[in-house]
Amino acid sequence: MATVDQLIKDAQERMAKSVDHSRTEFNTVRTGRASAALLDRIEIDYYGTKTPLKQLATIGVPEARMLTIQPFDPSSIRAIEKAIQESDLGLTPSNDGKIIRLPIPQLTEERRRDLVKVVRGLAEEHRVAVRDIRRDAMKHLKDLVDSGDVGADDEHRAEERVQKLTDEHTKQIDDLLRHKEAEVMEV
Predicted local confidence at residue 71, as pLDDT = 92
Task: Examine the domain organization and report whether 91 and 138 are in the same domain.
Answer: no
Task: Examine the domain organization and report whether 129 and 148 are in the same domain.
Answer: yes
Predicted local confidence at residue 177, as pLDDT = 94
Domain count, the chain: 2
pTM exceeds 0.85, yes or no: no
> What is the distance between the alpha carbons of residues 169 and 165, in angstroms, rounded to a whole number?
6
Task: Examine the domain organization and report whether 156 and 94 are in the same domain.
Answer: no
> Last residue of a domain, which of 61, 82, 103?
103
Which residues constitute the domain of residue 176? 2-28+108-185
Widest CA span in the chain:
71
DSSP 8-22: HHHHHHHHHHHHHHH
Query: At what angle are helices 152-185 and 109-146 packed, to 10 degrees?
Result: 170
Task: Examine the domain organization and report whether 116 and 180 are in the same domain.
Answer: yes
Task: Examine the domain organization and report whether 78 and 142 are in the same domain.
Answer: no
Sign of CA dihedral 14, 16, 21, 22: positive
> What's 35's DSSP letter?
-
> Last residue of a domain, which of 79, 103, 127?
103
Task: Examine the domain organization and report whether 115 and 180 are in the same domain.
Answer: yes
> What is the distance between the alpha carbons of residues 150 and 147, in angstroms, rounded to a whole number?
8
Task: Examine the domain organization and report whether 78 and 137 are in the same domain.
Answer: no
Q: What is the mean pLDDT of each run of 10 residues along the chain (187 residues)?
A: 82 94 83 77 86 90 88 89 82 87 84 86 94 94 87 89 95 94 82
Task: Examine the domain organization and report whether 12 and 46 are in the same domain.
Answer: no
Give every CB contact of residue 43 below 8 A, 6+ residues apart in sequence: 50, 51, 52, 53, 83
CATH number of the domain within which 128 lies: 1.10.132.20
CATH number of the domain within which 73 lies: 3.30.1360.40
Give every CB contact of residue 15 below 8 A, 6+ residues apart in sequence: 130, 133, 165, 166, 169
Which alpha helices (DSSP H) does 28-151 contain, by range?
77-86, 109-146
Predicted local confidence at residue 115, as pLDDT = 83
